[in-house]
Structure 1
Amino acid sequence: MSTVVVDTPHGPARAELHRAARPRAALLLGHGAGGGTGAPDLVAATRAAVAVGVHVALVEQPYRVAGRRAPAPAGQLDTCWLAVAADLRERWFDGVPPLFGGRSSGARVACRTAAAGQAAAVLCLAFPVHPPGKPDKSRLPELDAVTVPALVVQGRDDRFGQPTAGPRREVVPLAGGHSLDKDLEGVGRAVSDWLGRVLRSRE
């Protein structure tokens, strides 16, 4: 594991790099709005991805690097994410296809930027379908806009709602809530199985 700092238009971001021995793809994973890259589900997903031959970059947004807990506006998050993706693609991806992903807010960023970043697939951990208690404020259009294979791993009791499956979108429900820490083995298994199928379809 190594760490690199990437300059973005809104300050430095940080990426924790986990290298696979024989890389088949590179997965960028973003954190939640108030959390960091050490979230248990992100760690489980990272281990699962590396085990099936996928580099992983755990990306820390500039507002977190600067020590702020309140997230930056969506436009800034997306701009910084794409800057990190472009930098790592040039310096680190080794020509393998990029995959985008993240938990909660990071999953939303991954969905919104998938097309612009030419992501080959999108992994969403605990996608926040709507704010708690406000189902009328749906974020499903962000998921629906993803045109590449997508996986959503969601706690059955997630107070941020339940996503629906789609033509290119799989949903794996697991025990627990928004933190996805009740079944970390299930998180790893879902990520590993899905990545294996996505990568085989590209070979």
Structure 2
Amino acid sequence: MGILEAATDEQIRRQFEVNVFGLINMTKAIVPHFRSNKEGLLINISSMGGKVTFPTMSLYHSNKFAVEGFSEALSYELASQNIKVKLIEPGAIHTDFGGRSMEFFFNESLTDYKQFTAAFLGKLAEMEKDPAYASSPELVAETIYQATTDGTSQLRYVVGEDAKTLIKMKDNLGDEEYMKNVTQHFSLLR
């Protein structure tokens, strides 16, 4: 998380290595096994961040958009082998994601972004205080179980009311209106 200009090449590559190339490599490793069994099920964990975007998260979103595109396109080719692909798209979840996994890109010399970043982080902190802000990890587990056992070819499983609301909002409003709403919500206009 942070302003793109503040991210090092190493930070960018590490994030793509884990979230995109790691997923692709694991998929390549398991697909031959599924093919030999004449069936299989891949469940990829994405995020609402693969469908909607927020400020200061360009790297995270680009990773999750890649997971979405990879999984959707892969589902066509693997369906010919009786292998299903499913995507879990959680919204905010009550975990230590922000503390354990989040790395904030910051560079003091980028003062032009100071007001923008402060406004976003302030609004984000305010949102996180709301108990309804995030869903439980159990809800994610229940959704993964549903995806595993429902016997359907459904591709996407959205988890959490925030994710459902925001994805629907973007679908209904279109890109420009959605982005305008995010900008206004986070008070990002000068």
> TM-score, normalised on structure 2?
0.32
> TM-score, normalised on structure 1?
0.30
Question: Which structure shows the higher strand fraction?
Answer: 1
Structure number with the bigger relative contact order (C-alpha 8 A, sep ≥ 6) is 2
Question: Which structure shows the higher helix fraction?
Answer: 2
Of structures 1 and 2, the larger Rg is shown by: 2
